[in-house]
Amino acid sequence: MKFSWPIRVYYEDTDSGGVVYYANYLKFFERARSEFLRRFNIEQDILITEHDVIFAVRQVSVDYHKPAVFNDELSVTSEVIELNKASLVFRQVIHREKDETLLCHAVCKVACLSASKMKPRPIPDEIVQHLAGK
Amino acid sequence: MKFSWPIRVYYEDTDSGGVVYYANYLKFFERARSEFLRRFNIEQDILITEHDVIFAVRQVSVDYHKPAVFNDELSVTSEVIELNKASLVFRQVIHREKDETLLCHAVCKVACLSASKMKPRPIPDEIVQHLAGK
Amino acid sequence: MKFSWPIRVYYEDTDSGGVVYYANYLKFFERARSEFLRRFNIEQDILITEHDVIFAVRQVSVDYHKPAVFNDELSVTSEVIELNKASLVFRQVIHREKDETLLCHAVCKVACLSASKMKPRPIPDEIVQHLAGK
Amino acid sequence: MKFSWPIRVYYEDTDSGGVVYYANYLKFFERARSEFLRRFNIEQDILITEHDVIFAVRQVSVDYHKPAVFNDELSVTSEVIELNKASLVFRQVIHREKDETLLCHAVCKVACLSASKMKPRPIPDEIVQHLAGK
């Protein structure tokens, strides 16, 4: 399943080069992953407090093709391309809405941790089932 | 006592208007307050873990006179202008180093909280003595 | 007219104190002001390129009442409380959606500048009419 | 040549998971690249205005090993591992100062652009000579 989330570019996201600052795309990617989970009614604050589960990024790789600029409306897609026992891999792509230009894409490996011990733990079954599209 | 802390402006701090984004001066002000405390060997992580003390901003007021730009070297001064039982007030001023231009100034009220209860508590005596210049 | 804009709190907005970092509310306030203008079909990128107009914050004053936390859904209201020839003043308030708790409020003075000269200039008539509710 | 730059972790850098937010390491990496250039008296604002040169990140890949936390003192190393006509590749590593723990490392490809046209252009000879260690 590919999930798309709209994001507006505000001044806070840009830099004096006139484009979105390169680190800020990682914020956009995370917002989109959070909304991807929310779509399955997975609320990350409840994951922590009730299920002792927190997700942590282990690896991220970003290709910057074209820059986003102030006031752009973007769409960020999220897709699980690998689902392991205690980790998963997202592919995420950002397009500019108005002309569908590809701006950047990322591959992001996320580990499932015990929130109390900060050690790897299996992804809860319910989440696995959602992510596997079952 | 007035304490001065140098800060360099990087791309992350600027926006597409070509100047430092207005919220980011608050980051500069807090870095300067943290270094002001460190000068008295007050480390905020130890305050939390060993003394159950955390400082939280209750009120901030900023006047923006001239903008800082990419690559500027700034100096941020911090000065305690009011010292109460469970709160204190800082006055902070930012200048551009090379021409001493006044860029902005802030007044910032900080409360002393119990880190575990997040309730107001008295500022520890040792800190009061440092801040009162005794 | 009071305009309300919803904002979700993501990890990027929080700090290790477990709450939204104090500078980041200023980002929320600006997003809400931008959407307030957009409601009148005022797009700030077009203002710059076609009308030589850019808005710059001259003064901001924030009272922090209660902290927002990770995953909160907030509403940010924006209201023009003063409309001058070349500046305007917003009052803005942030509530947590689920329990309507007042979290913080701000008063923010914004100047209208020529984007090319960065000097004060009158607010364009069309914008004045929108903001004055005419 | 490997160049090391110290960075202090402030509240602004952390998130409510109690660690440095994953996007913020990219800010640290860029500060370190900027200081690496400054060490050769290369000031990026002058590069833009006098030499029509701006550097833009094309690709970044980060491995997160251990998290940095509030108040940590970090060292960020920068090293050019590939030097092409119109681009270069940095390897960068972040350690915690007090116990020399490896926290994360990045490989970052940067393109040299004409600042006025935003098109690739050769890296100026003088910079090439510095970076090649000649």
Domain ranges across chain B: 3-131
- pLDDT at residue number B132: 84
- On the CB side of C55, CA atoms within 13 Å amount to 23
pTM: 0.97
Task: Quote the DSSP letter at residue B120.
Answer: B
**D15 carries an active-site annotation:** yes
Q: How far is CA A64 from CA A102, A103, A108, A116, B69, in A?
A: 9, 6, 14, 36, 25
| Active-site residue identified among C13, C15, C72, C125 | C15
Nearest by CB: A17 against D17, D54, D59: D54
Give the largest Cα separation in chain A, rounded. Answer: 46
CATH homologous superfamily for the domain D3-131: Hotdog Thioesterase (3.10.129.10)
What value does the mean pLDDT take over residues B88-92?
A: 98
Mean pLDDT of chain C: 96
Q: Does C11 touch chain D (CB under 8 A)?
A: yes
The pLDDT tens digits of the residues spanning B9-39 come to: 999 999 999 999 999 999 999 999 999 999 9
Can you list the positions of beta strands (E) in chain C?
3-8, 53-64, 73-83, 87-96, 102-114
Judged by DSSP in three states, B28 sits in helix
Nearest to D64 by CA among C61, A60, C126, C20: A60
- pLDDT at residue number C134: 57
pLDDT bin (cut points 50, 70, 90) of residue B133 is confident
Task: Quote the DSSP letter at residue C66.
Answer: S
- pLDDT at residue number A132: 84
Nearest-angstrom CA–CA distance, D102 and D99: 9
Q: Does C23 touch chain D (CB under 8 A)?
A: yes
- What is the predicted ipTM? 0.96
- pLDDT at residue number B108: 98
Mean pLDDT of chain B: 96
- pLDDT at residue number B89: 98
Q: Which amino acid is at C59?
A: Q
Nearest by CB: B30 against D11, D27, D71: D11
- pLDDT at residue number A108: 98
| Active-site residue identified among D13, D15, D52, D63 | D15
Q: Does C59 touch chain B (CB under 8 A)?
A: yes
Nearest-angstrom CA–CA distance, A22 and A20: 6
Residues of chain D with pLDDT under 50: none
Residue C98 pLDDT more than 90? Answer: yes
CA angle B50, B54, B60 (to 5 degrees): 160
Nearest-angstrom CA–CA distance, A104 and B70: 25
- pLDDT at residue number A134: 58
In DSSP terms, D63 is beta-bridged to A59, D105
Residue C100 pLDDT more than 90? Answer: yes
Nearest-angstrom CA–CA distance, D48 and B62: 31
Contact B11 A12 (CB under 8 A): no
- pLDDT at residue number D55: 97
Contact B19 A16 (CB under 8 A): yes
- pLDDT at residue number C59: 98
- pLDDT at residue number C16: 96
What value does the mean pLDDT take over residues B109-120?
A: 96
| Active-site residue identified among B15, B63, B72, B125 | B15
Residues of chain A with pLDDT under 70: 134
- pLDDT at residue number D15: 98
Q: Which residues of C touch B60 (CB under 8 A)?
A: 22, 61-62, 64
Nearest-angstrom CA–CA distance, A93 and A79: 9
The contacts of residue C81 (CB under 8 Å, 6+ apart) are C89, C90, C91, C107
Nearest-angstrom CA–CA distance, A70 and C44: 9
**Using an 8 Å Cβ cutoff, are D67 and D19 in contact?**
yes
CA angle C87, C90, C93 (to 5 degrees): 165
- pLDDT at residue number D1: 79
Nearest-angstrom CA–CA distance, B64 and B104: 5
Structure tokens that stand for A123 in this block: 């992804």
The pLDDT tens digits of the residues spanning A61-85 come to: 999 999 999 999 999 999 999 999 9
Q: Which residues of D touch C21 (CB under 8 A)?
A: 11-12
- pLDDT at residue number B134: 57
SS (HEC) of B45-111: HHHHHHHCEEEEEEEEEEEECCCCCCCCEEEEEEEEEEECCCEEEEEEEEEECCCCCEEEEEEEEEE
- On the CB side of B66, CA atoms within 13 Å amount to 12
- pLDDT at residue number D134: 58
**Using an 8 Å Cβ cutoff, are C104 and C77 in contact?**
no
Nearest-angstrom CA–CA distance, D123 and D134: 15
Burial zone of B78 (CB within 10 Å; 0-12 exposed, 13-18 middle, 19+ buried): buried
Q: Which residues of B touch A23 (CB under 8 A)?
A: 12
Nearest-angstrom CA–CA distance, A8 and A31: 12
